[in-house]
Structure 1
Amino acid sequence: MMKQTKTLKQVEAQIEIEFDSKKEAEIVLTAIKPEISDSPSSRTITEVKSIDKILNIDIKAQDSPSFRAALNSYFRWIMLSQEVFKLSK
């Protein structure tokens, strides 16, 4: 009997989020940097950078569940950072 192996496809996305100002984009990047360096999974590679008022997020994952988990985490952290930024104004 032959054993079938399931080939998983790598999933990638490049996301750009535009903020009201360059300062806000940099604050959000600074706020989520600890999360970037302490990635919850070895199955994903994420690069986040700020260019002017745009936050660029590049996610590469070994599979869809890992990709979805990373994407949800980054969106949650960004939304939380924005709320804190708005409160501090």
Structure 2
Amino acid sequence: MAIRSEAVVEMVFPAPELARKAMLALKPEEVSPGGRSSARISVRRKILRLEVEARDTPSLRAALNSLLRLITVVRDMMELEEG
């Protein structure tokens, strides 16, 4: 029996529309080409929620690192847009 790994990450944005923009930017990442992990990305008000499941802990870590790196890029782009 394989042990699945999962994690939930919630991030609060300054405004609901920014959380929604981030969600739309990350939506394509919900489907993992290799099938080792999957993600559900949703927004509720100002909160962006990532739910990640993977076949094992290393796959979970890789998926989380990838998503968090992308969120950093999205945040940086939003800051450039404001500035």
TM-score, length of structure 2 as denominator length? 0.90
The alignment partner of 2:35 has SS state of coil
- Runs of 4+ with >3 A deviation: none
Name the amino acid aligned to 1:16.
E
Q: Match for 2:25 among 12, 28, 31?
A: 31
The alignment partner of 2:3 has SS state of coil
Deviation at 1:10, TM superposition (A): 1.0
Name the amino acid aligned to 2:22.
V
Q: Match for 1:12 among 1, 6, 9?
A: 6
User: In 2, distance between residues paired with 1:11 and 1:32?
Assistant: 21
Corresponding residue pairs, total: 82
User: In 2, distance between residues paired with 1:41 and 1:18?
Assistant: 30
The alignment partner of 1:15 has SS state of strand
Deviation at 1:65, TM superposition (A): 1.0
Deviation at 1:8, TM superposition (A): 4.2
What percentage of residue pairs aligned between the two structures are identical?
A: 34
Unaligned runs of 5+ in 1: 1-6
CA contact 1:12–1:58 (8 Å) conserved in 2: yes
Q: State the superposition RMSD in angstroms.
A: 1.3
Unaligned runs of 5+ in 2: none
User: In 1, distance between residues paired with 2:78 and 2:6?
Assistant: 29
Name the amino acid aligned to 1:44.
S
